């Protein structure tokens, strides 16, 4: 697993709303109230796609000394508790896509939770907490690791999570640095990873996070041609439509950050990025 140790040290560093719920978002916009998936009324204004939304990105949820990519489970729980206590709505990537492209409104306290690489601890440690809080999230998985590498997710775990509000999307076949591949090789890893996941999950895979946050001009054509609708980078900051659907920013969550830093990134759309 040479690649695992290589990237884990670097700073390479959601089930969908059904149509009724999306309709209820639309209907409720005049009253400044929305209904979450538990049919509870959420206070707050709706926002439209002139606004930005924080897309958090995590890797591993399991403490390891000196590794900022690995967030201890209890720290992750505190962050999720903060989202719950402060009445955040976690969006699926389909909801986010509809917000960006179709201008479907979402609650102003919306957030998107993502995980890169597909570590087994996402199932063992993060998934129970996400379920407990009723949160949506998305995991971008490296398909060559599935059922092969013990520290990574299995197809059964992916299927179970996929049926419980967790979107499973692509992070290429081999954690490929797309910037270093020619166009045909990019198309191959983009398509192969997508088809592999679609076979396991029985649902369409439409989103990707670029490994190492690397891409080039060919990538922007290749992801579109391979059938993806959105792609995420590791450029820090909140996401909005002006960034382009294939180069969306994300908010890095590191174990070097304390709770104040987490809140700062979550509540300030123009937070200063230093990683």
116 touches Zn ion (CB under 5 A): yes
118 forms part of the interface with Zn ion (CB under 5 A)? no
x/- map, 157-196, Zn ion, by CB under 5 A: ----------------------------------------
Residue of 94, 106, 103, 127 lying closest to 42 (CA atoms): 106
Applying CB under 5 A, does 213 fall inside the site for Zn ion?
Answer: no
Q: Distances in Å between the alpha carbon of 68 and those of 125, 143, 255, 268?
A: 17, 24, 5, 22
Sole binder of Zn ion in the list 94, 95, 117, 157 (CB under 5 A):
117
Alpha-helical segments (H) within the chain: 2-8, 19-28, 73-85, 93-102, 120-121, 127-133, 155-162, 183-201, 217-225, 259-267
Give exposure, 133-163, as e/b (b: 16+ Cβ within 10 Å). eebbbbbbbbbbbbeebeebbbbebbeebbe
Using CB under 5 A as the binding rule, whether residue 211 contacts Zn ion is answered as: yes
Closest approach of Zn ion to the CB of residue 164, in Å = 23
Least Cβ distance, residue 20 to Zn ion (angstroms): 35
Decide if residue 94 touches Zn ion (CB under 5 A): no
* Residue closer to Zn ion (CB basis): 105 or 211: 211
Size of the site for Zn ion (CB under 5 A): 3
Q: Which positions lie near Zn ion, rule CB under 5 A?
A: 116-117, 211
């Amino acid at each position: 697993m040479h690649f695992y140790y290589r990237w884990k040290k670097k700073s390479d560093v959601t089930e969908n709303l059904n149509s009724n719920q999306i309709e209820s978002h639309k209907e409720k916009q005049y009253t400044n109230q929305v209904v979450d998936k538990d049919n509870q009324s959420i206070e707050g204004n709706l926002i439209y796609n002139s606004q930005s939304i924080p897309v958090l990105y995590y890797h591993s949820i399991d403490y390891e000394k000196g590794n900022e990519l690995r967030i201890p489970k209890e720290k992750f729980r505190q962050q999720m508790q903060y989202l719950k206590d402060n009445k955040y709505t976690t969006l699926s990537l389909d909801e986010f896509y509809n917000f960006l492209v179709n201008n479907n409104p979402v609650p102003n306290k919306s957030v998107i939770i993502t995980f890169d690489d597909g570590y087994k601890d996402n199932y063992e440690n993060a998934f129970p907490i996400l379920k407990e809080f009723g949160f949506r999230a998305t995991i971008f998985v490296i398909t060559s690791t599935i059922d092969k590498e013990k520290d990574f997710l299995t197809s059964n775990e992916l299927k179970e999570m996929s049926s419980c509000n967790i979107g499973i999307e692509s992070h290429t076949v081999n954690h490929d640095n797309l910037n270093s591949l020619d166009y045909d090789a990019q198309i191959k890893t983009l398509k192969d990873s997508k088809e592999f996941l679609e076979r396991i999950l029985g649902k369409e895979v439409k989103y990707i996070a670029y490994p190492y946050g690397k891409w080039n001009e060919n990538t922007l054509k290749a992801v579109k041609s391979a059938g993806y609708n959105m792609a995420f980078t590791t450029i820090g900051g909140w996401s909005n439509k002006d960034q382009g659907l294939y180069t969306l920013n994300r908010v890095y969550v590191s174990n070097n950050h304390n709770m104040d830093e987490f809140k700062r990134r979550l509540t300030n759309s123009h937070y200063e990025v230093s990683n």
